């Protein structure tokens, strides 16, 4: 900028304003400046600009696992909305660990991100981290997981509805002994379990306690959990799995045991990850509109960052949608 100013015999300020299309600059000067800037190959220095404006045009996206295609899709949605606005997105992986998440968020804040979108790995009820964020006035939006008792912006699907939708579908398909491979003790895992229970109760079904087994987020855990279920007597005839990776692992175990999916055992997952259709048995699932979650969260965060005062916490629920494929189609 100094060079441009010198060459053109104007002040540095004039250049600065021209470059940013500031209003009070003559059309002619602006053109001269822009042209010369191009000739010199001028590249604005965002670091310096950020230091002066206290705005970085960077938003942080904290997710538990990039490898889980649900989150990769969310990330894509976020990017699609923010990039046209001139924002850059920094993705941080918390590996499902609360401490790692806290550290990553610290780092993002040290780099002065303008806002955060977080799919939190904090255990349910531990909302200290987010209270700190609020105190520091960092705009943030939670997605997918909603730590209990926290008034914060949130975009996601009602997990209890997911549980009900999936379980009722299995019931409609004629399953009577429905098991659940549950997820971790975070809002998603808890909500889906609750939905599973509610649907069973509503239809007068009762499952023995052993029918609820614990998985994690990944397919190996689904495989393990399903092997446990297969040892039970009577054996379940339908299983609602916490998510699609878990369901994929579960299917593997069932087939290995020489049983048929869906006839011996119907299976349904949640998330509709993009390869669900290509699995051993195409997987029935509950779609969560992952990229829509990302886009919606981005819009909401953009609003918050514009606003002078923080608007009251808003919760946006994306409706879940049943996707029936072969793994649960018995009639």
> For binding to a copy of itself (CB under 8 A), which residues are involved?
43-48, 50-51, 56, 58, 66-67, 69, 72-73, 75-76, 79, 88-91, 93, 106-107, 109-112, 219, 248-249, 251-252, 274-275, 277-281
What is the dihedral sign for C-alpha 221, 227, 231, 234?
Answer: positive
- Please report the DSSP string for 181-195 in residue order: EE--SSHHHHHHHHH
CB of 2 vs DNA, minimal distance in Å: 7
Residue 88 interface partner, choices DNA, a copy of itself, none, CB cut-off 5-8 Å depending on type = a copy of itself
Interface region with DNA, contact rule CB under 7 A, candidates 27-35, 167-175, 219-227, 293-301: 27-35
User: Which of the stretches 11-19, 61-69, 161-169, 266-274 binds DNA when contact is defined by CB under 7 A?
Assistant: 11-19
Query: For DNA, which is the closer residue by CB, 26 or 131?
Result: 26
What are the two backbone dihedrals, phi and then psi, of residue 155, each rounded to the nearest 5 degrees? -130, 125
What residues from 295 to 324 belong to the interface with DNA (CB under 7 A)? Answer: none
- Among residues 12 and 148, whose Cβ is nearest to DNA? 12
Q: Is 49 in the site for DNA (CB under 7 A)?
A: yes
CB of 52 or CB of 331, closer to DNA: 52
Sign of CA dihedral 123, 129, 134, 139: negative
Should residue 45 be labelled a site residue for DNA when binding is judged by CB under 7 A? yes
56 part of the interface to DNA, by CB under 7 A:
no
- Exposure string for 49-81, b = 16+ CB within 10 A, e = fewer: ebeeeeebbbbbbbbbbeebbbbbbbbebbbeb
CA 178 to chain centre: 28
Note whether 109 binds DNA by CB under 7 A: no
* Identity of the residue, 85 or 148, whose beta carbon is nearer to DNA in the bound complex: 85
Strand order in 266-268's β-sheet?
Answer: 212-214, 178-182, 238-241, 266-268
314 binds, among DNA, a copy of itself, none (CB under 5 to 8 A by kind): none
Specify the residue, 52 or 135, whose C-beta has the smaller distance to DNA: 52
Q: How many residues bind DNA (CB under 7 A)?
A: 26
> Angle between the 244-256 and 219-230 helix axes, to the nearest 10 degrees?
40
CB of 165 to DNA, least distance (A): 49
Give the span between the Cα atoms of 269 and 245, in whole angstroms: 8
CA distances from 134 to 219, 298, 311 (A): 36, 18, 12
Shortest distance (Å) from residue 320 CB to a copy of itself: 21
Confirm if 285 and 323 have CB atoms less than 8 A apart: yes
Q: Does 284 bind DNA (CB under 7 A)?
A: no
Minimum distance, C-beta of residue 50 to DNA, in the bound complex (Å):
8
- Using the rule CB under 7 A, is 53 a contact of DNA? yes
DSSP per-residue codes, 216-276: -SSHHHHHHHHHHHHTSSSPPSEEEESSHHHHHHHHHHHHHTT--TTTT-EEE-SS--TTG
Residue 2 contacts by C-beta under 8 Å, 6 or more apart in sequence?
12
Q: Which of 26, 39, 260, 310 binds DNA (CB under 7 A)?
A: 26
**Which long-range contacts link 14-19 to residues 24+ away (Cβ below 8 Å)?**
19/44
Binding test (CB under 7 A) with DNA, winner from 6, 35, 39, 51: 51
Using CB under 7 A as the binding rule, whether residue 123 contacts DNA is answered as no
Which member of 44, 128, 208, 220 binds DNA (CB under 7 A)?
Answer: 44
Q: Which of a copy of itself, DNA, none lies near 330, with the C-beta cut-off 5 to 8 A by kind?
A: none
Q: In the complex, which residues of this chain contact DNA (CB under 7 A)? A: 1-2, 10-14, 16-17, 19-20, 23-29, 44-45, 48-49, 51-54
């Amino acid at each position: 900028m100094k060079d441009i100013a010198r060459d053109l015999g104007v002040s540095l300020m004039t250049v600065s304003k021209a470059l940013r299309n500031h209003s009070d600059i003559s059309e002619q000067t602006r053109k001269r400046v822009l042209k010369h800037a191009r000739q010199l190959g001028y590249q604005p220095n965002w670091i310096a600009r950020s230091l002066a404006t206290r705005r970085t045009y960077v938003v942080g996206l904290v997710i538990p696992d990039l490898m889980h295609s649900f989150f990769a899709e969310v990330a894509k949605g976020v990017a699609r909305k923010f990039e046209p606005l001139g924002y850059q997105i920094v993705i941080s992986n918390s590996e499902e660990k609360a401490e790692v998440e806290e550290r990553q968020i610290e780092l993002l804040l040290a780099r002065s991100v303008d806002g955060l979108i977080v799919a939190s790995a904090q255990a349910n009820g531990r909302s200290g981290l987010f209270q700190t964020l609020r105190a520091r006035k960092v705009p943030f939006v939670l997605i997918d997981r909603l730590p209990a008792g926290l008034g914060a912006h949130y975009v996601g699907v009602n997990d209890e509805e997911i549980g009900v939708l999936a379980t009722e579908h299995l019931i409609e398909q004629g399953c009577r002994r429905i098991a659940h491979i549950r997820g971790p003790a975070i809002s998603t895992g808890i909500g889906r379990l609750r939905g599973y229970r509610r649907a069973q109760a509503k239809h007068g079904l009762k499952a023995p306690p052993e029918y609820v087994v614990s998985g994690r987020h990944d397919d190996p855990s689904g495989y393990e959990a399903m092997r446990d279920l297969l040892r039970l007597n009577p054996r379940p005839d339908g299983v609602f799995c916490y998510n699609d990776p878990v369901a994929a692992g579960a299917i593997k175990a069932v087939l290995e045991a020489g049983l048929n999916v869906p006839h011996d055992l119907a299976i349904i997952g949640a998330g509709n990850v993009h390869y669900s259709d290509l699995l051993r048995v195409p997987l029935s699932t509950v779609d969560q509109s992952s990229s829509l979650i990302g886009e919606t969260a981005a819009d909401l965060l953009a609003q918050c960052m514009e606003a002078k005062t923080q608007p009251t916490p808003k919760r946006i629920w994306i409706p879940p949608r049943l996707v029936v494929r072969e793994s649960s189609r018995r009639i």
